[in-house]
Amino acid sequence: MIRVEGLTKDYGLRRAIEDLTFDAQKGEILGFLGPNGAGKTTTMRILTGYMPPTSGTAQVAGFDVVDQSLEVRRRVGYMPETVPLYPDMTVFDYLKFMADLRQVADAEDRVDELLERLGLLDRAESYIANLSKGMRQRVGLAQALVHSPEVLILDEPTIGLDPVQIIEVRNLIKELGKDHTILLSTHILSEAQQVCNRVMIINRGRIVAEDTPERLQDRLTGSRRVSVQVGGDGDGLASVVAAVPGVARLMEKEDGRLEFETVPGMDPRAEVARAVIQAGYDLLEMRPYGVSLEEIFLELTRDEPTPPQPAEEELLDESISDLKDLNLKS
């Protein structure tokens, strides 16, 4: 559906993206992950026919974005980062206008259908100027969907929303992923992890890693992290667990709980469980979890080791873009 080869874009002397190559299959939700200024929006603008690349080629739904721009634009729904709306139009009129521009047959019925699907029916006659940020975001999504495009390109679809709205939008995207190919950008790692089938990490205009969220974790860490919880204060537990072959990097977290990383390629969980029980502890919980994408991301974009504590839902600040990039793909 999307096929990009050697895509490069210069703004004057500044190179925004360099030699990007990737593709997205039909029905795939591809996440574009990277700090601000990494080149996500530039790539999306090229794919939507907004502007041509400096060099390289890109095809969307089988059409070239430069030579067959109009064909591409007919098949792409695009929601830019700052959702572009006309404040002096009502929601219905705006969507009707977009549907007409896209030459949708039975535009009014289609707009009604979308209003219902996105929970905007009671706002149809409201002026866009009076809508909340979350509502505007929905109108922006409706606009991108109005012509049932084969490919949806969403630039930071959850930015500026409150947590409830974020969950709503994510669920919506997942649902849309069933019949559309979606390329979405985000700088929220857990979002990419939750929503996407495949994640591309981009930093300073280059792809530094690309895989499924799970495989990305496996490949980059090669080891898994396991948390063990026993009853009581668990004195001496660490030495018992550390003695099991295959256990590396042990960390005591709090009374009765510790975490260890496995030696790559080994799964010592069964032995650990046996050893813990044989030593007379009450094993309450043993839970494996992956390293969060955030840690991977930090590892990829910085060369010093990162604190192991996984942080949920944290936005990466601009400074990451200044950190040294490290091409782990090679």
Partner 1 sequence: MINVWTIAKREYRLYFSSPVAYMLAFFLFLVLGFFFSYSIQIAASAMGMQQGYVPGVDITLQPMAVMLVLLTPALTTRLLAEERRLGTIELLMTAPVRDWELVVGKWLGAFMLLLTYLAVSLIYPMILNQLISPGVDQGPLLTGYLGLILLSAATVAVGVFVSSLFSNQIAAFAATMGVVIFLWWIISVIGQVAGQTGGATELARYLDYSGHFYDNLLRGVVDLRDVTYYLSVTALSLFLSAMSIEVRRWG
Structure tokens at 242: 């550390």
Binding segment for partner 1 among 69-77, 270-278, 311-319, 320-328 (CB under 8 A)? Answer: 69-77
Which strand ranges, in their side-by-side order, compose the sheet holding 257-262? Answer: 247-254, 257-262, 225-230, 283-289
Which of 103, 309, 319, 330 contacts partner 1 by CB under 8 A? 103
Pick the binder of partner 1 from 35, 39, 49, 205 (CB under 8 A): 49
Q: Say whether residue 105 binds partner 1 (CB under 8 A).
A: no
Residue 50 sits in the site that holds partner 1 (CB under 8 A): yes
Is residue 129 part of the contact set for partner 1 (CB under 8 A)? no
DSSP state of 53: -
- Of 37, 52, 246, 310, the residue at the interface with partner 1 (CB under 8 A) is 52
Q: What element of type H or E holds 174?
A: helix 163-176
Query: Is 159 one of the binding residues for partner 1 (CB under 8 A)?
Result: no
CA dihedral 97, 101, 105, 107 (to 10 degrees): -10
In angstroms, the CA 97 to CA 166 distance is 27
Among 8, 85, 250, 302, binds partner 1 (CB under 8 A): 85
Pairing relation of β-strands 225-230 and 257-262? Answer: antiparallel
Using the contact rule CB under 8 A, the part of the chain among 66-74, 117-125, 240-248, 269-277 near partner 1 is 66-74
Q: Phi/psi of residue 145, each to 5°? A: -95, -5
Applying CB under 8 A, among 74, 174, 257, 302 the residue interacting with partner 1 is 74
**In this complex, which beta carbon is closest to partner 1, that of residue 147 or of residue 224?**
147
- Pick from 56, 80, 160, 310: which binds partner 1 (CB under 8 A)? 80
CA 27/CA 212 separation, integer angstroms: 14
Residues numbered 190-219 forming contacts with partner 1, rule: CB under 8 A = none
Nearest residue to 287 via CA among 247, 233, 228, 219: 228
**Residue 11 interacts with partner 1 (CB under 8 A): yes or no:** yes
Residue 73: CB minimum distance to partner 1, A: 4
How far apart, in whole angstroms, are the C-alpha atoms of residue 168 and residue 75?
25
**CA 164 from chain center: how many Å?**
18
Q: Does 181 bind partner 1 (CB under 8 A)?
A: no
Which lies closer to partner 1 via its Cβ, residue 85 or residue 323? 85
Answer yes or no whether residue 15 interacts with partner 1 by CB under 8 A: no
- CA–CA separation, 203 and 182 (whole Å): 20
Question: How does strand 29-33 pair with strand 181-186?
Answer: parallel
Nearer to partner 1, 96 or 170 (CB): 96
What does the per-residue mask of binding to partner 1 show for 303-322, with x meaning CB under 8 A?
--------------------
DSSP codes joined into one string, 120-165: -GGGTTSBGGG--HHHHHHHHHHHHHTT--SEEEEESTTTT--HHH
On the 0-12 / 13-18 / 19+ scale of CB atoms within 10 A, 109 is: exposed
CB of 85 to partner 1, least distance (A): 7
Q: Does 98 contact partner 1 by CB under 8 A? A: yes
Q: Is 130 in the site for partner 1 (CB under 8 A)?
A: no
Q: Which is nearer to partner 1, 14 or 178 (CB)?
A: 14
Question: Which positions lie near partner 1, rule CB under 8 A?
Answer: 11, 45, 48-52, 70, 73-74, 76, 78, 80, 82, 84-89, 97-98, 100-103, 143
